[in-house]
Amino acid sequence: MSLVLDPVAQDLLFREARTANTFTDEQVTDEQVQAIYDLVKYGPTAFNQTPLRVVLVRSEEARARLLPHMSEGNRAKTGTAPLVAILAADNEFHEELPRLLPHFPQAKDVFFSERSTRESNAGMNSALQAAYFIVGVRAAGLAAGPMTGFDFAGVQKEFLDDDHTPLMIVNIGRPGEDASLPRLPRLDYDDVVTTV
């Protein structure tokens, strides 16, 4: 009752949405991914740095290069998902800052001249954007299957470069049969929130 978001939307994005491990054959189109991006690109990041980058693994050739890097438990679902997205952090995001933060273009040099600072910022802020992306996949009526069980160095070498760090890989599609495990428990409010 304290939420103004429509209950149907609450269910779509959080309450009924589930991580999917199997998918139907229905394709995920570029138009859907573009619509997802055009929604979630507005999610806030520090200094508007928006360091998330996405590699869509569409061709059979690319998928064949990806599968050996997946952990055994993730290989079958990544092999059959209609679309697979590698989410990565751009550690050189500061090069775009003059365009993203036009009222303070000096931020590029004042705050982000050190690579280690950029890496920690890109890690945290691309994770925020990964969460927005997962919410966006659900907003498109699709299921996401986010995974961190893969060889990060191998995926970086195969699909990215030294400036881009893998964050997670997300299977995307419509849920198939027995797509999800039973909902796991969550912590109680009082375990998570304290008031001072």
- Give the C-alpha separation, 122 to 116, whole Å: 10
12 forms part of the interface with a second copy (CB under 8 A): yes
Among 124, 151, 154, 174, binds a second copy (CB under 8 A): 124
Q: Torsion over CA of 36, 42, 45 and 49, rounded to 10 degrees? A: 90
How far is residue 147's CA from residue 101's CA, in Å, rounded to a whole number?
Answer: 32
- Taking CB under 8 A as the rule, does residue 174 contact a second copy? no
Taking residues 83 to 122 in sequence order and writing x for each that binds a second copy by CB under 8 A, - otherwise, the string is -------------x--xxxxx-------------------
Report the candidate in 74, 89, 194 with the shortest Cα–Cα distance to residue 146. 74
| Residues within window 138-167 making contact with a second copy, judged by CB under 8 A | 138-141, 144, 146, 148, 159, 167
Q: Binder to a second copy among 21, 22, 57, 176 (CB under 8 A)? A: 57
Of 21, 22, 50, 171, the one binding a second copy (CB under 8 A) is: 50
Window contacting a second copy (CB under 8 A); options: 74-82, 171-179, 183-191: 183-191
Figure out which of the listed residues 72, 110, 114, 189 binds a second copy, where binding follows CB under 8 A. 189
Tokens of 29: 């189109």
27, 29, 71, 117: which one binds a second copy (CB under 8 A): 29
H runs (alpha helix) in 2-151: 7-10, 30-40, 60-66, 72-80, 97-100, 107-110, 115-139
CB 88 within 8 A of CB 124: no
Give the binding range for a second copy (CB under 8 A) out of 25-33, 74-82, 171-179: 25-33
